[in-house]
Structure 1
Amino acid sequence: MSNPLMQPWTGAHGLPPFDALQAEHFAPAFQAALAQHLAEIEAIASQAEPPSFDNTVAALDASGRALTQLEHLFYTLAASATSPALQAAQRELAGPLAAHSSAVFMHQGLFRRVDSLYQQRAGLGLTAEQVRLLERMHLDFQRAGAQLAPQARARYAEVMTQLAKLNTRFAQNVLAAESDYQLRLTDEADLAGLPDFVRAAARQAALDRGLDAGVHVITLSRSLIVPFLTFSARRDLREQAWRAWVGRGDDTGATDNRDICRDILALRAEQARLHGHACYADYALEDTMARSQQAVLGLLERVWHPALAAQAREREAVQGAMAAAGANHPLEAWDWRYYAEQARRARFDLDEAEVKPYFALERMVAAMFDCASRLFGLQFKARPDIAGYHPDVRTYEVLNADGSLRGLFMQDNFARPTKRSGAWMNPLRNQSRALGATPIILNNNNFARGAAGEPTLLSFDDVRTLFHEFGHGLHGLLSDVAYERLAGTQVLRDFVELPSQLYEHWMAEPSVLKQFARHWQTDEPLPDALLAKLQAARQFGQGYETLRYTASALVDLAAHALPEAPADVVAFERDTLATWGLPAEVGMNHRLTHFQHLFSSAGYAAGYYVYLWAEVLDCDAFDAFVEAGDAFDPEVAARLRACILSAGNSREPGEAFRAFRGRDPVVEPMLKDRGLLLN
């Protein structure tokens, strides 16, 4: 039987034949692609001609096309539509793929050519983008261990292979813990307090799992468990759900991640030592805007203490709501959202059950497209004839203002047992002028699907997530660089969240809400009075949410600042939070044992702070529109596109921000936006 992955991909826009793919196709396809890439690397490294930008740097950027497209596809399916067979393939391939990366970036002949060009880069007559590519490529080799002594290089490659295997096991354990959990609600008493939209989502989750009529299910999907914790009047069930949610990976069963976390931290500490660093945090932060632990801690401390004070004020309101309800039990973590909602409702006369019918998913997708059209002249043409890897995937051709093709956008919005939690953007193909490649960009969300025949209704937080991921999507779609290595979101980690978090601002613009937030049954627009309540209540709960995020960032940094892994990661986490004085009823966004940002890959390791760092940038950046007097000001939008969204990694991020804003960023707009600016 022929392998469709080893044939030309002849789907629309070069998409693979999704319907013909089987898990067993990947291993032989990767084997062929890895061999082809190694042959290309050897040809570049062994050529007789002296190194030049074109025959070495540009050639390296253009190499491995078959492998790159295969990796994009494989990791997309592993995250969004996995299966036992695909997970087995992922475990099998994790080591060889990591070993291949080491073989490429430790190739001494290749590195000598790149290093020779790097040393003389000032005199080569290169464009600014070519210099940037050469510098970034040289750094890729350095950070992959190319300059280590032979014995250290061999050990470094072993470490990276072991880490890849552990990352895969960690992610698969989290998915198993999440997909296996079901809190079944079997009678009316179990549903006490739940508004219709939560009941509908829980019923649909039960149907998706083939359960009997009348049963409702709460899963660990954020879009379902957070509303359950917010509205359920059953304190005993809230506690069950909360303990399952925060306990993922912290158990003694098959999904126990405690030893895996410790082993990953130990290997990362060794990785850092091989580079001459005292700890992994120093190694990771070397290639960021922050550059140092001190800079990161300075920012986290800047918000921690105001957030503690804000949460203390919020606690008074929450305890007032408890007293009004006649609750005489202690305030626990599984109580906070429930009574905070009561307090918000009393203080602002705002009921989320009243708000949510105005935020149907389809209308919010239309809103995010419309904002992109008004800002950047983009058009989005639905292509239902272009199938994705799952029936939930929706495909759109993205057109420039003149009707020419900009790229392809695919969106997968719903939670499934075969899909990891969270929300993310990834490319199926990056943009590159040198390769003639238009981008194919995918957004994944995990919204709880509405009942059959009814729309999926989003919370305000869900809408923010929708816009956030599309901000990443625009970063990929609007990329306009010559070289694939610099395209789209391949920027420094504490800069990558700027476009996504900046785009969140438009979801709350009154003109956008008035146009698109319409009641799904009556088509009435969001009433002015309700909009005013939403705006008035916007900062309520920011102390709690800021502490949850910052606690996770502090634990991440502390764990990766250790010279050796802690013996007990759960005890280390607990002790770190106690040192910072985190109130017990608050908790963390992510505990270490299910912290996929940190342990499914190294992407955000010692880097969870980046959302706050980027928030400083995004709040200051949006102020440029505020100062212009128009959230859609064409001149500011054009500058944003040229300096940041189209530039990818073709310029240093601080320089890119200064080109857009005319100065370095300031922190006050972020503190003001969160309600943490002290007078």
Structure 2
Amino acid sequence: MIKSPCRLSTPLLRHAFHSYTTYTPRGLLAVAATATAGPKQPRFSSTTGHERSLEDITLRQIFDAHDFWLQFSQQHTSDLARPSRGLFQNRYLTEPSGFLKYAQVTRQKCQQIVERVLSAASIEAYAGIPRQLDLLSDSLCRVLDIADFVRCTHPDTGYQAAAIQAYAFLFDYMNVLNTTPGLNAQLRKAISIHEASGSWNEEEKMVAQILLRDFSNSAIDLPAEKRQNFVQLSNQMKTLGNEFLDSMTPTTSYLDFDIKQLKGMDPLALARMSKGGKRVRLPTVGGVPYAALGTVEDEAIRREIYIAGRQSSKDQIKLLERLMVTRAEIANLSGHESYAHMNLSDKLAKSPEAVNSFLTALSGDNAPRVMQELAIMKEMKVADGISTGIEQWDLVYYRNRLNVDQKPKSRKPDFMSAYFSLGTVMQGLSRLFDRLYGIRLVPRGTSPGETWNSDVRRLDVLHETDGHVAVLYCDLFERAGKNPNPTHFTLRCSRLISSSETNEGSNSPQDANDGMAVSSSTSSNQHYQLPILALICDFSHPPNSRIPALLGFQDVKTLFHEMGHAIHSILGRTSLQVVSGTRCPTDFAELPSVLMEFFASDPSVLALFARHWETGAPLPYEMVEDSLLTQRRGQGIQTETQILFSLLDQAYHSSLPLKMKGGFDSTKAFFDVYDKYSSVREPRATNAQGFFGHLVEYGGTYYSYLFDRAIAAKVWKEVFRDGKGDGGVEREAGERYKEEVLKWGGGRSGWACVSAVLGEERLKDGGKEAMEEVGKWGVHS
């Protein structure tokens, strides 16, 4: 599951990509013209081989050995008398009350920038407008991204409340900016003055285009009354979306069964739920009902469980329908045919027609697999003495049966997790990044107050020639009240710190950045604010201090996925933050993270780190092959499900909500899509759209994950040679991918990136035909 970039009601706030797997950049000091880190360049000179070896060992131990972590962390926090340096070393965030002060100071800085833009009159002033607007966006995002993170992650309710207050304070200011046509007018004038816009580099041109388009989508050209209506509708959309996400519960929370009716389920699980009795209360959401659908032998019981888990309340459906109507009204007010047309205007797809071309082509590629899988399931059902066709409640059950019936290649018990201690996986990621890109993860101590929990590890990201290029905070263990979804947060993006900023009352680049980390280019006197990232997971603590946290193979893929977003933020180090790191189109942002999942199962990559935590024995690759084979069974049906929801997302964000006779009926629209495209009938008793939370975040771009899966598979095959001949750890392939994709962020057309890295010139300009071509590639893994 992907949490997409947050876009509020102003073009000046473009939040960094958040993802959770299920999601959301420019090269190392690219604008400062640093040397490309090629395979034969020298290592970062300040670190010896012995020191690098110690760093590598320490990286594993701080995650695997609890006593070592305590000793390591206490070395840096033992002096309790030292004052707090503030969260992320931000000097304002030494206590909760500092959040509002931080927001207030930021607003004052922003107002000064706005005044400079509005008063621009000379060629020089107009030439500087893209950078001024980028600084305005960065100033706002520095508060809002951290506040958003703290609101949902910090365990202290005082900090949470303060973050919410600061966020709301600046959100109100967003509405003020959104009704300031002068900013849009000055940007347009700057573009029209050749002497000004002719001096812009590629990043500045892209930022100007992005902001101009976003201003247009924010109805900035409308009369004041309609602009105010736009703001009200935008606020209403945000409120409805939050209410919808908070209300995703079925009408029936539990189902009561006689324990005999659940024959096939794990007896121990049944015993726990029945508490020794004969009746079982089965929840209708979560892992338990999913396990029941995969194991209960009685088809009628599976049907009851399936339907109960996909029945939303009438109020929830009304919330969804009001949200879709509100979005359609916003689009119409902005001069667009539909919300999908509006939201796709800056994506690779560009239009709903192109999205449908992609999905149609992808469906055609996927159809033979679906038919084959259903035929196998049908044979199994007939063998069970049941002559009816395959139904939705049969899919998980017969897929599980198929996996049980197939004999694995490996005769060894599947103890894969013993080869994947958390520390060795983090060690493996660092080694992989070192081989591909010349960067490594180095443990660092933290200052008092720098992190939000004692479990949080800080890793500095070091490049072999450019030194310190990012800070990564790892909050990877479960705890009460913590959001369990794996997520990558960009708390602050890369950006060149101009000399004028340090001349305006700031004594140093750190002062200009609220005390947070900056770096110096090794090839110039320029300073960059470092990307500050946070990686959130929910891995279980080991049962005792002698055993490290052991990850299942899916957990490993999840960690690789999230680190794919992180490496995008790290290597996408631009001079302007609007196009930095993962601040790129939604349908391009998942490419690096999905591609990383291929690395997670590659034998040459696993050979870097996958070894038994106790014996040191290397992982037998047959175990991985068995796991991959299991995952691929039923993949056609799973892909079809994602295609169906992508089509539903398009239908809901089309002009339909305002044109349907008798008012928008989301259930009718749901079955119109399923009846036309689904290979397996959906029972009429359901209204599963009430649980489709991605509608809120994606808004017409849910196809993005499928789209990026298709591209990632192609890149893995063409650039990294499917891992053959150690292609998965080859520096030349890594450099090609970094130079053509990762380093650009949103500063280059995504189609140009894809075209260049694959050598497919015909894809360079994108369009409907290019979308269709990607659909034909399929999402085979």
Q: TM-score scaled to structure 1, two decimals?
A: 0.80
> Partners in 2 of 1:82 and 1:166 — Cα distance?
26
Compute the displacement of 1:458 (Å).
4.4
**Aligned position for 1:289:** 348
Secondary structure at the aligned position of 1:339 is classed as helix
Question: Percent of aligned positions with the same letter in both sequences?
Answer: 22
Change (3 A) 1:188 1:578: closer
**Aligned position for 1:502:** 595
On the 8 A contact 1:193/1:231 being kept in 2, the answer is: yes
On the 8 A contact 1:40/1:64 being kept in 2, the answer is: no
Counterpart amino acid of 1:574?
Answer: F
Change (3 A) 1:530 1:564: closer
**Aligned position for 2:580:** 487
Change (3 A) 1:439 1:544: same
**Aligned position for 2:225:** 151
**Aligned position for 1:4:** none
Change (3 A) 1:513 1:500: same
Change (3 A) 1:381 1:32: same
Say whether 1:302 aligns with 2:395. no
> Partners in 1 of 2:148 and 2:692 — Cα distance?
18
Change (3 A) 1:669 1:48: closer
Compute the displacement of 1:400 (Å).
0.9
Q: TM-score scaled to structure 2, two decimals?
A: 0.71
Listed as ranges, the gaps of 5+ residues in structure 1 are 1-7
Say whether 1:463 aligns with 2:556. yes
Compute the displacement of 1:395 (Å).
2.6
**Per-residue CA shift, 1:542-588, capped at 9, x if unaligned?**
1111012111111001110134356332343233212223414799x
**Aligned position for 1:608:** 702
> Partners in 1 of 2:134 and 2:201 — Cα distance?
16
User: Paired residues, what number?
Assistant: 642
> Partners in 2 of 1:609 and 1:85 — Cα distance?
39
Change (3 A) 1:577 1:451: farther
On the 8 A contact 2:572/2:581 being kept in 1, the answer is: yes
Say whether 1:116 aligns with 2:211. no
**Aligned position for 1:440:** 532
Secondary structure at the aligned position of 1:276 is classed as coil
Say whether 1:354 aligns with 2:414. yes
Secondary structure at the aligned position of 1:433 is classed as strand
Q: Alignment partner for residue 85 of structure 2, among 10, 14, 18?
A: 10
> Partners in 1 of 2:86 and 2:290 — Cα distance?
39
Change (3 A) 1:361 1:191: farther
Q: Alignment partner for residue 313 of structure 2, among 232, 246, 251?
A: 251
Compute the displacement of 1:14 (Å).
2.9
What does 1:182-331 correspond to in 2, within 5 Å?
193-194=265-266, 230=294, 246-247=310-311, 250-251=312-313, 257-321=316-380
Change (3 A) 1:545 1:572: same
**Aligned position for 2:757:** 660
Say whether 1:44 aligns with 2:117. yes
Say whether 1:620 aligns with 2:714. yes
Say whether 1:568 aligns with 2:665. yes
**Which protein has greater RCO, CA pairs closer than 8 Å, 6+ apart?**
2
Compute the displacement of 1:147 (Å).
2.0
**Aligned position for 1:3:** none
Compute the displacement of 1:75 (Å).
1.3
**Aligned position for 1:401:** 464
Secondary structure at the aligned position of 2:406 is classed as helix
> Partners in 2 of 1:503 and 1:479 — Cα distance?
16
Secondary structure at the aligned position of 1:290 is classed as coil
On the 8 A contact 1:431/1:487 being kept in 2, the answer is: yes
What does 1:460-609 correspond to in 2, within 5 Å?
460-519=553-612, 523-537=616-630, 539-564=632-657, 567-584=664-681, 591-599=688-696, 601=697, 604-609=698-703
What does 1:62-81 correspond to in 2, within 5 Å?
62-63=135-136, 67-81=140-154
Counterpart amino acid of 1:288?
Answer: K
Compute the displacement of 1:605 (Å).
0.9
> Partners in 1 of 2:479 and 2:332 — Cα distance?
40
Counterpart amino acid of 2:220?
Answer: A
Secondary structure at the aligned position of 1:526 is classed as coil
Compute the displacement of 1:457 (Å).
5.0
**Per-residue CA shift, 1:414-440, capped at 9, x if unaligned?**
566745564432211101123621001
Counterpart amino acid of 2:225?
Answer: Q
On the 8 A contact 2:420/2:550 being kept in 1, the answer is: yes
Secondary structure at the aligned position of 1:631 is classed as helix
Counterpart amino acid of 2:719?
Answer: A
> Partners in 2 of 1:583 and 1:441 — Cα distance?
42
Change (3 A) 1:439 1:87: closer
On the 8 A contact 2:591/2:709 being kept in 1, the answer is: yes
> Partners in 2 of 1:448 and 1:239 — Cα distance?
33
Deviates more, 1:41-50 or 1:155-164: 41-50
On the 8 A contact 1:106/1:153 being kept in 2, the answer is: yes
**Aligned position for 1:644:** 741
On the 8 A contact 1:94/1:164 being kept in 2, the answer is: no
Listed as ranges, the gaps of 5+ residues in structure 2 are 1-82, 499-527, 764-769
Change (3 A) 1:577 1:392: farther
Deviates more, 1:151-160 or 1:59-68: 59-68
> Partners in 2 of 1:240 and 1:370 — Cα distance?
49
What does 1:315-394 correspond to in 2, within 5 Å?
315-321=374-380, 332-349=391-408, 354=414, 356-357=416-417, 358-383=419-444, 385=446, 388-391=451-454, 393-394=456-457
Secondary structure at the aligned position of 2:641 is classed as helix
